[in-house]
Amino acid sequence: MEKGVVYLVGAGPGDPKLITVRGLEAIQRADVVVYDRLASPRLLKHMKPGADKIFVGKLPDKHMMKQEEINQLLVDLALQGKTVTRLKGGDPSVFGRVGEEAELLAENEIRFEIIPGITSAISVPAYAGIPVTHRDFTSSFSIVTGHEYKNKTYNTVNWENLSQASGTLIFLMGVANLETICRQLIEGGKSPDTPVALIRWGTWMEQETLTGTLTDIVERVKAANFQSPAVTIVGEVVKLREKLAWFEKKPLFGKRILVTRARSQASELVDQIDELGGEAVEFPVIRTQAPSGQAAQQALHQAMKRLNEYDWVMFTSVNGVEHFFQTLRELKLDIRSMYKARIAAVGPKTAEALEQYGLQPERLPAKFQGDALPDALEGELKKGQRVFLPTADIARETLPAKLEELGLLVTKADVYETVLDTNGGTDILELLEQNKIHIITFTSSSTVTNLLKALRELGVEKPLELLGGCQIACIGPLTAQTAREAGMQVDYLAEEATVASLVKSMYSKK
């Protein structure tokens, strides 16, 4: 069997968007991803279907797998012909023990590649508003391990030289040895008043920074019960934090937000949350697909073949637009058969989706819901006009009923159906049980009902109790009504039925 290849990848400091392009490519092509706790698990969503993942992370008080076992694991997987990506937090060459892994691969004549990452030594202080160099303070810095290997064959740190060698000193993995580090630096000639900062979980949603001096930082750490993993930075540049701190000032910083929207539509919401400092966790509890029932399929096909008869075609969602055109292609129908139909769209996103296909819909205010279409088009709708509504299988009957009351001839057909999707639910359940989800977003009534269904499928007997510690954000009044009827308290309600308005509601509430 031909041997595989191993990519030894620096995953960056934690923020998944700080991985390199080359590192991301390695994740995407891997048959197996071997990762530790300092590599963001959100990177794993880029794995190809069918790829395996193996956690070999180390906790402060427990090693899941010894380093020698990890080294051998990489060899064994490669000997099976697999493409292996080893994800390591930060840069693999900066105290990442990549040399040991690469040595054994080389001894077994296995092809490997070391892909550098953004080291936490520089990036974590930057996210805390502390540049490691500054022309007014220092032009040099040193990176030192705060946890030395006991059986090493080289000399220990020369504290006197180190204390005077660089203006900025950066210690990785040094929380447990902080008292010794501070004492040695002072004995080596560093001023006791030298500023010190410890940054815990830097670039992550949980980022926390504690400052002091060489004299008092140890007591401050004990008083705050400040735990690893943390980067320690010593030097005058720490003074810049008060002025330059930027990450913690983002409006959604410190919030982990559950996105229940279908994955095909979640990217905009996820990106906006991330941009504002929150951490978006995807759990697409619904998935859209073409109607599966034979009767629904026949009804849709018959309705689509009569496009030349309609005076109006009304779209109430982006999904409706996408599945409408998918059906159009499958039936090999010509869009020009809709020549006499006027197009109505609920919401700007639905309108944008139609514009992508060259259709200019009637402009409606963003806050209008589907049920309000007749009022929005007052004076345009005439008795006897034919209307086609390509909707979801769970669409409310209010809109077609109102149109029929006005004397319009309505043809309603399910152009798509929503199905329950519990993929990745185990990880979400763990976050909920640990109270690590702060806000849950709902972008439709179906996301509300399907989240509760998904939790029951995962064995949760009382899902409302599990969600009790989370705030709820809804995109519109109908979604909020569904959430309230299910027993939830709605904390945030978008002023307009858009993703941007939903996100804004989560940080601008008075």
In the chain the domains, ranked by start, together with CATH numbers, are 5-118 (3.40.1010.10), 122-249 (3.30.950.10), 256-285+421-508 (3.40.50.10090), 294-418 (3.40.50.10090)
Integer Cα distance of 404 and 409 in angstroms: 6
**pLDDT, tens digit, for every residue of 442-466?**
998 889 998 999 999 899 999 999 9
The residue with greater pLDDT, 151 or 213, is 213
Contact assessment for residue 341 and residue 388, using Cβ atoms and an 8 Å cutoff: yes
Residue 413 pairs in a beta bridge with 390
**pLDDT value, residue 254:** 93
The residue with greater pLDDT, 345 or 236, is 236
**pLDDT, tens digit, for every residue of 322-331?**
999 999 999 9
Percent helix, strand, coil in the chain, to 5, is: 40, 20, 40
The residue with greater pLDDT, 142 or 284, is 142
**pLDDT, tens digit, for every residue of 221-232?**
999 999 988 999
How does 28-63 read in b/e, with b if 16+ C-beta sit within 10 Å? eebbbbbbbebbbebbbebbeeebeeeebeeeeeee
Active-site residue, 36 included: yes
Q: With 70 as the cut, is the pLDDT of residue 16 above it?
A: yes
Summary mean pLDDT of the chain: 90
205 Rama class: left (phi>0) / alpha (psi -120 to 50) / beta: alpha
Q: With 70 as the cut, is the pLDDT of residue 360 above it?
A: yes
Structure-token pair, residue 381: 């709708």
**pLDDT value, residue 58:** 62
Q: With 90 as the cut, is the pLDDT of residue 470 above it?
A: yes
**pLDDT band per the 50, 70, 90 thresholds, residue 365:** low
Contact assessment for residue 26 and residue 45, using Cβ atoms and an 8 Å cutoff: no
**pLDDT value, residue 368:** 56
**Catalytic option among 3, 53, 58, 250:** 58
Q: With 50 as the cut, is the pLDDT of residue 481 above it?
A: yes
Integer Cα distance of 455 and 461 in angstroms: 8
**pLDDT, tens digit, for every residue of 254-276?**
999 999 987 767 788 999 999 99
Calculate Rg over the CA atoms of the chain. Answer: 28
Please state, for a pLDDT cut of 70, what percent of the chain lies above it: 94
**Catalytic option among 47, 173, 205, 314:** 173
- If DSSP states are collapsed to H, E and C, what string results for 196-219? EEEEECCCCCCCEEEEEECCCHHH
CA 490 to chain centre: 23
Average pLDDT over residues 237-266: 91
**pLDDT value, residue 397:** 79
**Catalytic option among 36, 91, 274, 414:** 36
**pLDDT, tens digit, for every residue of 71-112?**
999 999 999 999 999 999 999 999 989 999 999 999 999 999
Looking at 140-149, 248-257, 380-389, which range is the least confident one?
Answer: 140-149
**pLDDT value, residue 156:** 72
The closest of 195, 148, 145, 147 to 167, measured between CA atoms, is 195
Structure-token pair, residue 136: 């007014």
**pLDDT value, residue 154:** 46
**pLDDT, tens digit, for every residue of 137-165?**
999 999 998 766 554 544 577 888 888 87
Integer Cα distance of 295 and 396 in angstroms: 19
**pLDDT band per the 50, 70, 90 thresholds, residue 396:** confident
Active-site residue, 61 included: no
H or E element, residue 105 = helix 98-107
**pLDDT value, residue 132:** 96
**pLDDT value, residue 509:** 65
Contact assessment for residue 438 and residue 470, using Cβ atoms and an 8 Å cutoff: yes
Contacts with 361 (C-beta within 8 Å, 6 or more apart), sequence order: 315, 343, 344, 345, 350, 351, 354, 355
Active-site residue, 58 included: yes
Q: How many residues does the chain have?
A: 510
Average pLDDT over residues 27-44: 92
Cut 0.85: pTM above it: no
